[in-house]
Amino acid sequence: MLTRRGLIAAGATAAMPIWTRAANAQAYPDRPVRLISPYAAGGATDIIARFVGHWLGERLNGTFVIENRAGSGSNIGTEAVLRAKPDGYTLLLASTANAVNATLYPNLKFDYLKESTQIGMIGTLPNVLVVHPSLPVRTLPEFIAYAKANGDKMGIGLPGIGSPQHLSAALFKSMTGLDVPFLQYKGGGPVINDLMGNHVQASFASSASSAEYIKAGSLRGIAVTSAKRLPLLPDLPAIAEVLPGYESVNFYGLSAPQGTPDAIVQALSRELNAGLGNPALTSKLEPTGLAPIPMSPAEFGVFVAAETEKWGKVIKAAGITME
Amino acid sequence: MELFANLGLGLETAFTPINLLYALLGCFLGTAIGVLPGLGPAATIAMLLPATFVMPPVTALIMLAGIFYGAQYGGSTTAILVNLPGETSSVVTALDGYQMARKGKAGRALATAALSSFFAGTVCTLLIALFAPPLAEIALKFGPAEYFSLMVLGLVASIVLAHGSILHALGMIVLGLLLGLIGTDINSSTQRYTFGITELSDGIGFVIVAMGMFGIGEIIANLENEATRDVTIKKVTGLFPTREDFRRMVAPTLRGTALGSLLGILPGGGAALASFGAYALEKKVSRNRHEFGQGAIEGVAAPEAANNAGAQMSFIPMLTLGIPSNPVMALMIGAMIIQGIQPGPSVMTEQPALFWGVIASMWIGNLMLLVLNLPLIGIWVRMITIPYRFLYPIIVVFCAIGVYSLNNAHFDVYLMALFGLVGYVFKKLDCEPAPLLLGFILGPMMEEFLRRALLLSKGDPSVLLTRPISGVMLALAAVLLALVLLPSFSKTREVAFQEE
């Protein structure tokens, strides 16, 4: 404990001007850290935030309090973090939404890329293309052929405009030229309900929950949206095997307001990445379907910027917008 | 028989000391937060999620379930005592329950609510144990067209909710529909009536409107009139229902349970209709319909039974299919994932102890709540004898805390204050808030389902009539509407409506 705190302080001292040394001599954190999850409690983001927060709290000998600030597709929580004092005591559970919303919402009051400092990636969560079992298709080429011929007889259910599942579907649509109507729902639960009832015929759903329905035979899995196959569903091909270059995953990571002391960012990054290699944390994250991917703050920054650019193009091409 | 083996396994699981203890803890916490206006089960469960990390999965779910139905019991208490419905379901209970309280019958109203809830809870536990999987299958048959028609039927039926001018009721429903439109349209993502305010982009929360219009509005009106506000203190007659009360509550409880169980299995918002529907039904069939709105015991028994039945049945889609039908069920699913259990159709077969343990604990929980609540009635009733100058600031503070806890946003508290003023103005104008709240809840759902049905049918509205379940419900709605509106062509409209 002493040594770790000592190391952080030493690292800080080397990089900081003299007048901040006094402040950093005290170990971080000396009071509770707010980790803001910009979604409602109980969802995947919330669960990931809780486990990661718990882990960081244990490792840094502090308390990480998860605060759910839901609303406006994560914008309310994100803005709250970006406007907070950059002292390391307010952090954001960042996700694909942050990369997507930069383009999706033309009237945002903040610029996530410019106003945040990246700490690191937590992992990615792919989606699965699932269909109702009565649909006469088993493979991805069969699905594409069927949807081309019967586009007017089917619907793809999705959990809301701008959701990662919607983007997976939009990218799929643009790469295949399909013309199947998208039906938006308020969240993933109702989509699964209507898909199981055959009111809609297909959906892109998060991998962890889909795996259960596929296993039980209530839904049929066709392909996964990650670049490679998933250990969870080894029989399902990646969409990229048929449509080279296709990749659409939800990512989760940690961000802080721009200007957060580098020593704190480094400390958080080190402990986060230690956790992503430690079964004590990864086994807990597993049921959410998350595949842990440790990254340095700089790597995550590059990744977030690339995702923002990629989804910006898809969103503009598909004409999706939130006025 | 397999059922007995399963129930045996469930009881065995639920009756371990630790599970009993946590069921009691959950029920107690649930009652406490239910009684505190504004603090809902969703916020409480969200706060307690980290505590479940260290519990075994069954124990965690049993405790969270206890909070959920404990809050259903507790929520009726504030609705009856101080006219503060913290949940969709207790809006209707407030109508006659609060009037009973004002007439000194608070104890009898509270006991009625607890007893009818317990009865409904017992019936539903049995129904879930016997028929959960087939019921979930039936619910899947309900597509967008069916849900839309169900909502239409509910809305039409609700016109009978009002006990004043039918024009006022219609006006309030339409205003509720308009308020429900605030937010982002899910199909086009167009912002409606948000005026660039980010906090409005997901719409206004039900609790905010309900607390403002009922609770705060009532407080303002009470403060204005010193004579009426202390009326409850003077004459508290009997804490327990009389034999006559029991006779009057039996049939409404049975009907409410039946309706609540039917609607409760529909994850797409059926439960929201349960208590409204049960009240409307009683008002049509009851021999004492002239008392409705002035403190009819039927008006407490039926919606309370329906509401608890609906709440209980909403476990079916969650337990059998992993589909959440309300925010609390979504949190329960989150709790399962935290425990490393992926919710879905296989929970029943792969985690039988969990599945049956939770079901068995439902009945135990309901029993605990009855035992917990009946003795508390005396204390609650004494609570309203607290001088109003002390009581109302307490209520306002708890309302503010509760509303803030929903989203950790100040904006919501200001909004509640605004709705308090609106509620006061409407009270002055003799406009009832209940139809407004119904329009507010059903409006957005109706729109969502109608547009989805039309998107799926490529714009052909005939699906609403050609799909059998949907067609029947629309026909029923038409008949009901005719019954309500026909006398309005004659000059006796007002009188006829009063008698409806």
Point out the least confidently predicted range of A7-11, B98-102, B182-186, B220-224. A7-11
Q: Final residue of a domain: which of A193, A211, A241?
A: A241
Residue B187: closest CA among chain A residues belongs to which residue?
Answer: A184
A131 and A65 in a common domain: no
Give the pLDDT confidence score for residue A271 in this predicted structure. Answer: 96
Same-domain check for residues A135 and A120? no
pTM attached to this predicted model: 0.84
**Which of A288, A320, A321 lies nearest to residue B337, judging by beta carbons?**
A288
The confidence score (pLDDT) of residue B162 equals: 60
Predicted local confidence at residue B160, as pLDDT: 63
| Backbone angles phi and psi of B108, in degrees to 5 | -70, -35
Q: Most B CBs within 10 Å: which of A45, A180, A199, as the mutation test of the B interface?
A: A199
pLDDT of residue A25: 42
B chain contacts of residue A153, beta-carbon cutoff 8 Å: none
Bridge partners, A253 (sequence order): A94, A121
Q: How many domains does the structure of chain A reveal? A: 2
A286 lies in which domain range? 4-125+250-318
Query: In the predicted model, is pLDDT for residue B499 greater than 60?
Result: no
Say how far apart CA B410 and CA A261 lie, in whole Å.
29
The answer to whether residue A117 is domain-embedded is: yes
Q: What is the pLDDT of residue B489?
A: 45
Domain identity same for A133 and A175: yes
- Is residue B49 pLDDT above 90, yes or no? no
Q: Is the pLDDT of residue B254 over 80?
A: yes
Mean local confidence (pLDDT), B302-323: 90
Question: Within a domain: residue A180?
Answer: yes
pLDDT band at B227 (very low <50, low <70, confident <90, very high): low
Q: What is the largest distance, in Å, between two alpha-carbon atoms of chain B?
A: 68
Same domain assignment for residues A52 and A121: yes
Grouped pLDDT means (10 residues each) for chain A, 323 residues = 43 43 63 93 88 94 91 90 95 95 90 96 95 95 94 90 91 92 88 92 90 90 93 92 94 96 96 96 89 96 96 88 67
CATH number reported for the structural domain that contains residue A16 in this entry: 3.40.190.150
- Residue A323 in any domain: the answer is no
**One domain, residues A103 and A19:** yes
- CATH number of the structural domain spanning residue A229: 3.40.190.10
Contacts of B45 in chain A (CB under 8 A): 41-42
- The pLDDT score that the predictor gives to residue A8 is 45
A241, A270, A300 — which closes off a domain?
Answer: A241
User: What whole-number distance in Å separates Cα of residue B70 and Cα of residue B399?
Assistant: 19
pLDDT of residue B496: 43
Contact between B343 and B318 under an 8 Å Cβ cutoff? The reply is yes
Neighbours of A237 (CB within 10 A): 16
Chain B positions touching A284 (Cβ under 8 A) are: 338, 340
A90-95/A33-37 β-pairing: parallel
Residue B41: its pLDDT value, please?
84
Identify whether residues A257 and A186 lie together within a single domain.
Answer: no
Assess whether A181 and A255 both reside in one domain.
no
Instruction: Give me the pLDDT at residue B121, please.
Output: 92
- What pLDDT sits at residue B487? 60
Could you read off the pLDDT of B414-435 as tens digits, one per residue?
999 999 999 999 988 888 888 8
Asked if residue A213 and residue A185 are part of one domain, the reply reads: yes
Q: Which residues of B touch A71 (CB under 8 A)?
A: 198-199, 201-202, 407, 409
Q: Of B446 and A8, which is predicted with more confidence?
A: B446
Do A149 and A225 lie in one domain? The reply is: yes
Under the banding of pLDDT at 50, 70 and 90, the label for residue B385 is confident
**Termini Cα distance of chain B:** 49
CB-CB under 8 Å, A209 with B344? yes
CA gap B415, B418 in Å, rounded? 5
The whole-angstrom distance between B131's CA and the closest CA on chain A is 18
pLDDT above 90 covers what percent of chain B? 26
Q: Which of A224, A241, A258 is a domain's end point?
A: A241
* Residues A79 and A100 both lie in one domain: yes
Distance between CA atoms of residues B323 and B325, nearest Å: 6
Q: For residue A79, which residues of chain B lie inside 8 Å, CB to CB?
A: 198
Give strand pairing partners of B118: none
Q: A302 to chain B, minimum CA–CA distance in Å?
A: 29
State residue A29's pLDDT score.
92
Is residue A293 domain-resident?
Answer: yes
A103 at the B interface (CB within 8 A)?
no
Please tell me the distance from the alpha carbon of residue B331 to that of residue B49, in angstroms, as a whole number. Answer: 8
- Looking at the structure, tell me whether residues A106 and A132 fall in a common domain: no
Residues 6+ apart with CB under 8 A from A89: A29, A31, A32, A33, A34
Inside any domain, residue A107: yes
Mean predicted lDDT score pLDDT of chain B: 85
Is the same domain home to A197 and A275? no
- CA torsion sign, B200 to B307 to B452 to B169? negative
Q: Please name which of B443, B256, B314 lies closest in space to residue B41, comparing C-alpha atoms.
A: B314
